[in-house]
């Protein structure tokens, strides 16, 4: 039976060859001036090669801003977007630009930033001329201007929607229309109106407190958005117009999630207005403006799959134009079911296309698709930290122009020792390149530490990483030998050996006497313990072990030498951990260094003020970290390379393990 997701759909003036959409994500791949450079072009073209029908570039600013986003505010930028449009069209994909305007006075903030830049330049000249007094004066003035710029920015982010006068709003509206004209000249197929940010703030009862014709009633609050629609329609009558409609949803406890945009009832009513105004497509999405991207792009275990679908379904029932849904639609099967039920017309696979850009191609061929974990570590965290995004499972993100699988020059017999995540990826890559691969694992299952990572609350979805390899490796002809530890004689029968033997829970580096100390790894593997628990080490493993034990009903304390627990955890996950700690009464002792353990009494010192602390627990959990396993290469006469935890001085997280396995196997 043909898949609905691969059937075409008409959106205004453009035909999409299938129902797979890459929704707007801030990638960080653009050049410093907001232009589309080689990295952006390579990333989006890779999505087109993978068969995505509709690719939307997120947060394209129609004015020059301080925000690190794509920009199309000047005709000189048109050729770069033209090159992007041509590249996508060559693969049958359509290009949309999500035009947005930030919710602050861009010229006002920009003027202060430019003044600070000018003053720093003058200060540098004074420094070069050995005029120390002038240098100090100009430097202080530059710092003052910078502080004023960011103070205004912080103020505007909260109040600009109320304080912007009618002329400012008109100027912004016209800048958006001019940007649409440039997009049309560049060969872009559609304009997506960013209904969040400034427009979402204008629509919102939570953020819009105006008393003029743009405030109060639904008609007034949506007036500006409809004016923007009309301005774009007039400026580019032949382009398709999509509207990202942010919906303020309701949490299980009855509180609202999101501030910009509209509550569901109003969103449905507004969708009808948008259709009447000439909008060709609506994307129903979660509203933002909470300060936590996890509210918009939630991590694994936080909300149900397809969590914004109820709103999309209601909007779909109210309008006749196509409706797209986004939000934890992880699998191809889930998207197909949504289409089959008539709940939406187009499926937005955002994080999923980072994980596997070939969803459409593989769907057509019936091949295994690598599925997103919704961990947020490589993507959402990067957006918030102003870094370029990448998926922990995909070694190519952002480097598509320089990193790809290379067919093997000579087919080799390759042994991969260790079926943790690094070994699994190494086996996949080596086999994809044409090598004959045997994967050895001394245990009785693949996955290694992934099974430990999946044990804590909300983390079971990480097992999708193993499921993918269990499906894909047999189809690539990889021979898996479980419960097997090959010796040198056996490995010498291969042309190349990749060692990916992992790590182990390190021993406590301090005196321990007559105490019940257990490994965090043993606990996450299912070992039962009793009584109160003290977890030594507040890294990721320690934090998750504390959550795991608390969920089982133990009284838990966590002891960390530095000033903060879980420093490497996703910023969207940390609020969930802290909420869970509060619910279960988990005590945190930070800046606390354990010196010795005797009779289940923990002796420690506060690293900040050197005061001594004594704590007791029935079970003491060693979560101080891991140490790489040593691979015995003695007697092996063929080349040996290393991947994952065993390859360096520091053990690897999942992203480093995947990339290590990928690059080592790609070099064989």
In angstroms, the Cα distances linking 153 to 105, 157, 468, 611 are 8, 6, 45, 42
Whole-angstrom distance, CA of residue 489 vs CA of residue 279? 69
- Cα of 195 vs its chain's centroid, Å: 21
Question: Are 408 and 435 a contacting pair, CB within 8 Å?
Answer: yes
Q: How many Cα atoms within 13 Å fall on the side-chain side of residue 434?
A: 9
3-state secondary structure 378-421: CCHHHHHCCCCCCCCCCCCCCCCCCCCCCCCCCCCEEEEECCCH
Instruction: Report phi then psi at 21, rounded to 5.
Output: -120, 135
For every residue of 183-236, DSSP letters joined together read HHHTT--EEEEE-SHHHHHHH-TTT----STTSSSHHHHTHHHHHHHHHHHHH-
Beta bridge partner(s), residue 628: 503
Extract the tokens encoding 502.
Answer: 């992992």
Specify the pairing of strand 612-616 against strand 601-606.
antiparallel
3 state DSSP class of 471: helix
Classify the C-alpha dihedral 206-209-214-215 as positive or negative.
positive
Q: Give the orientation angle of helix 421-432 with respect to helix 654-666, to 10 degrees.
A: 30
Distance (Å) of CA 508 to CA 196, 292, 612, 623: 50, 37, 20, 9
Cβ-proximal residues to 77 (8 Å cutoff; 6+ apart), any chain: 34, 35, 71, 182
Catalytic-residue membership of 197? yes
Residue 564 DSSP code? S
Choosing from 39, 46, 197, 351, the catalytic residue is 197
- What is the DSSP track for 80-114? HHHHHHHHHHTTT-EEEEEE---SS-HHHHHHHHH
Nearest to 532 by CA among 514, 501, 559: 559
Beta bridge partners of 587: 557
Pairing state between β 14-16 and 9-11 = antiparallel
- What number of H helices and E strands is found in the chain? 22, 28
Q: Which residues belong to the active site?
A: 197
């Amino acid at each position: 039976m043909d898949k609905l997701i691969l059937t075409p759909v008409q959106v205004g003036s453009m035909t999409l060859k299938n129902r797979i959409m890459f929704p707007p994500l801030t990638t960080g791949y653009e050049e410093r001036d907001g232009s589309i450079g080689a990295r952006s072009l390579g990333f989006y073209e890779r999505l087109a090669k993978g068969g995505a029908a509709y690719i939307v570039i997120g947060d394209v600013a129609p004015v020059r801003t301080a925000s690190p986003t794509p920009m199309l505010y000047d005709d000189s930028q048109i050729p770069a977007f033209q090159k992007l449009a041509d590249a996508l069209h060559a693969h049958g994909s359509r290009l949309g630009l999500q035009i947005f305007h930030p919710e602050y006075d861009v010229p006002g903030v920009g003027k202060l930033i430019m003044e600070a830049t000018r003053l720093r330049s003058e200060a540098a000249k004074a420094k070069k001329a050995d005029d120390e007094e002038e240098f100090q004066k100009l430097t202080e003035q530059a710092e003052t201007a910078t502080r004023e710029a960011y103070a205004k920015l912080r103020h505007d982010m909260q109040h600009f929607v109320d304080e912007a006068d009618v002329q400012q709003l008109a100027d912004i509206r016209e800048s958006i229309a001019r940007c649409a004209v440039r997009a049309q000249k560049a060969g872009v197929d559609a304009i997506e109106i960013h209904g969040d940010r400034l427009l979402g703030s204008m629509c919102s009862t939570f953020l819009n407190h105006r008393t003029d014709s743009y405030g109060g009633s639904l008609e007034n609050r949506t007036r500006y958005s409809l004016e923007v629609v009309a301005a774009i329609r007039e400026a580019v009558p032949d382009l398709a117009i999509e509207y990202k409609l942010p919906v303020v949803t309701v949490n299980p406890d009855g509180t609202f999630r999101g501030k910009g945009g509209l509550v569901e009832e109003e969103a449905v009513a507004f969708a009808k207005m948008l259709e009447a105004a000439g909008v060709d497509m609506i994307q129903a999405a979660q509203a933002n403006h909470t300060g936590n991207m996890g509210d918009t792009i939630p991590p694994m275990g936080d909300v149900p799959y397809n969590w914004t679908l109820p709103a999309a379904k209601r909007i779909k029932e109210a309008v006749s134009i196509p409706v797209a849904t986004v939000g934890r639609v992880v699998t191809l099967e889930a998207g197909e079911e949504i289409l089959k039920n008539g709940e939406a017309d187009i499926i937005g696979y955002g994080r999923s296309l980072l994980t596997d850009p070939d969803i459409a191609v593989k769907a057509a061929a019936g091949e295994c698709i690598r599925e997103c974990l919704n961990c947020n570590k490589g993507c959402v965290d990067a957006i918030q930290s102003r870094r370029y995004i990448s998926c922990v499972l995909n070694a190519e993100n952002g480097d598509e122009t320089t990193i790809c699988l290379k067919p093997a020059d000579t087919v080799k017999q390759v042994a991969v020792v260790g079926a943790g995540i690094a070994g699994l990826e190494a086996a996949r890559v080596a086999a994809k390149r044409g090598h004959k691969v045997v994967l050895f694992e001394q245990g009785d299952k693949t996955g290694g530490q992934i099974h430990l990572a999946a044990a804590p609350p909300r983390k079971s979805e990480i097992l999708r990483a193993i499921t993918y390899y269990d499906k894909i490796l047999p189809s690539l002809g990889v021979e898996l030998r479980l419960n097997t530890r090959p010796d040198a004689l056996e490995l010498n029968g291969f042309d190349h050996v990749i060692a990916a033997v992992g790590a182990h829970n390190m021993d406590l580096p301090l005196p321990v006497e007559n105490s019940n100390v257990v490994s965090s790894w043993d606990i996450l593997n299912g070992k039962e313990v009793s009584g109160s628990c003290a977890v030594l080490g507040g890294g990721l493993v320690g934090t998750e072990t504390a959550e795991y034990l608390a969920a089982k009903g133990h009284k838990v304390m966590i002891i960390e030498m530095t000033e903060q627990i879980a420093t490497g955890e996703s910023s969207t996950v940390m609020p969930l951990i802290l909420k869970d700690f509060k619910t279960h009464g988990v005590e945190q002792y930070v800046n606390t260094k354990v010196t010795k353990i005797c009779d289940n009494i923990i002796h420690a010192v506060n690293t900040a003020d050197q005061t001594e602390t004594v704590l007791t627990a029935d079970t003491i959990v060693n979560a101080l970290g891991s140490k790489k396993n040593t691979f015995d290469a003695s007697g092996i006469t063929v080349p040996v390379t290393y991947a994952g935890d065993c390859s360096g001085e520091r053990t690897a997280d999942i992203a480093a393990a995947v990339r290590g396995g990928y690059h080592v196997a790609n070099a064989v």
